[in-house]
Amino acid sequence: MAKTLYVGNLPWSTTDTSLAEAFREYGAVISSRIITDKETGRSRGFGFVEVEDDDAEKMISAMNGNDFGGRQIVVNEAKPRQG
């Protein structure tokens, strides 16, 4: 199984690849995506990383509050979308 982690307060320059690489240090990353504004295509400053269940807690502990690109990021388990 996989879990999705919410990652907030990202620098605007963050890419899907750089986000995945940062988390890969702490476990298996299945996918990552930066959320962008539909009209401008610019990053909205947050994204999601899909990780193996076994690695999720370790990644949250290791990355939450860490400096990433000069900003202190917020990492927690993503909540299901409200319909």
> In this predicted model, what pLDDT tens digit does every residue of 34-69 receive, in sequence order?
999 999 999 999 999 999 999 999 999 999 999 999
Torsion angle of alpha carbons 60, 61, 66, 69, nearest 10°?
-30
> In this predicted model, what pLDDT tens digit does every residue of 6-29 receive, in sequence order?
999 999 999 999 999 999 999 999
Q: How far is CA 10 from CA 27, 60, 83, in A?
A: 20, 15, 25
Q: Model-level pTM?
A: 0.93
Hey, what domains does the chain have and what are their CATH numbers? 1-75 (3.30.70.330)
